[in-house]
């Protein structure tokens, strides 16, 4: 007990305490940052829309690993361009970490062509362009009893059978039956006009107004028609009184309570 009260004992305790404090300071401020490389963090830049070859060279030059995990075809993007990254831009990362990239591919995916023969032209146009990602090219009119129905679809001059694999975003030509003697009027283009003027022009052309749908569109001021359906018709003409749907930029007008 006398030793525990001695100066030698408390001096030893003081030395041990000081040593412990020094150890923790060195560990947390020198050793741990070195092991975790906390001082080597960088903010990852936005790599999208840049050439994969250039991006890979820059990342590897700075000590990062690169792995391509997927490819997606985009018709408006050249092949071998970065279209996705993980981690996302702005993420703090340490050197040596692996960066995962998604690239634009050379070839579009193949999709089975739907059955379109005997269907109305407007239905087929919407099906091909909105559901399958095709574009409608030449519209070839042939005589027949039932007007504005599809007789056949063609790709690169060849008739398409249902189920045929076709590259997405391809241009499809349509053969459409046109009966004689029907009262036809020209299809009026009203995109870019105020709604009231668009309705007036359709009425003056002998067409009717179908559904009016409102949707915010940053490219058009409120109240302006930014899309119409149909926007393309066989021979650019429709039966008199045919309804044309209008898509208007902005929010629908509020109903005034009576």
Predicted TM-score (pTM) of the model is 0.49
Helix, strand and coil content of the chain, in percent to the nearest 5, comes to: 25, 35, 40
**Residue of 123 and 32 predicted with greater confidence:** 123
> Looking at residues 142-162, what average pLDDT do you find?
86
Residue 9 pLDDT exceeds 60? no
> What's the CA gap between 42 and 182, in Å, rounded?
70
Start-to-end CA span in the chain (Å): 98
pLDDT in tens, 55-64: 899 988 888 9
Smallest Cα–Cα separation from 226: which of 245, 246, 243, 244? Answer: 246
Q: Average pLDDT over the chain, rounded to whole?
A: 81
Peptide bond into 87 cis (omega under 30): yes
Residue 201 pLDDT exceeds 50? yes
Name the pLDDT band for 121 (thresholds 50, 70, 90).
Answer: confident
Structure tokens at 9: 């004992």
Q: 32-64 in b/e burial notation, b at 16+ Cβ within 10 A?
A: eeeeeeeeeeeebeebeeeebeebbeebeeeeb
């Amino acid at each position: 007990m006398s030793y525990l009260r001695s100066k030698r004992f408390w001096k030893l305790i003081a030395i041990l305490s000081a040593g412990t404090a020094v150890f923790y300071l060195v560990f947390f401020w020198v050793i741990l940052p070195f092991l975790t490389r906390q001082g080597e963090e960088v903010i990852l830049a936005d790599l999208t829309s840049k050439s994969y070859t250039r991006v890979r060279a820059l990342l590897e030059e700075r000590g990062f690993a690169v792995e391509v995990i997927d490819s997606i075809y985009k018709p408006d993007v050249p092949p071998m361009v970065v279209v996705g990254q993980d981690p996302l831009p702005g993420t703090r990362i340490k050197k040596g970490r692996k960066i995962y990239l998604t690239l634009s591919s050379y070839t579009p995916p193949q999709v089975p062509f739907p059955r379109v023969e005997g269907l109305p032209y407007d239905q087929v146009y919407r099906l091909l362009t909105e559901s399958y990602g095709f574009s409608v090219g030449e519209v070839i009119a042939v005589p027949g009893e039932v007007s504005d129905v599809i007789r056949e679809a063609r790709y690169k001059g060849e008739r398409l059978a249902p189920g045929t694999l076709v590259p997405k975003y391809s241009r499809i030509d349509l053969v459409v039956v046109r009966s004689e003697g029907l009262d036809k009027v020209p299809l009026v283009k009203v995109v870019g006009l105020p709604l009231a003027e668009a309705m007036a022009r359709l009425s003056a052309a002998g067409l009717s107004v179908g559904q009016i749908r409102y949707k915010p569109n940053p490219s058009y001021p409120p109240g302006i028609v930014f899309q119409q359906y149909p926007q393309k018709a066989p021979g650019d003409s429709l039966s008199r009184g045919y309804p044309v749907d209008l898509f208007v930029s902005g929010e629908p007008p509020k109903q005034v309570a009576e």
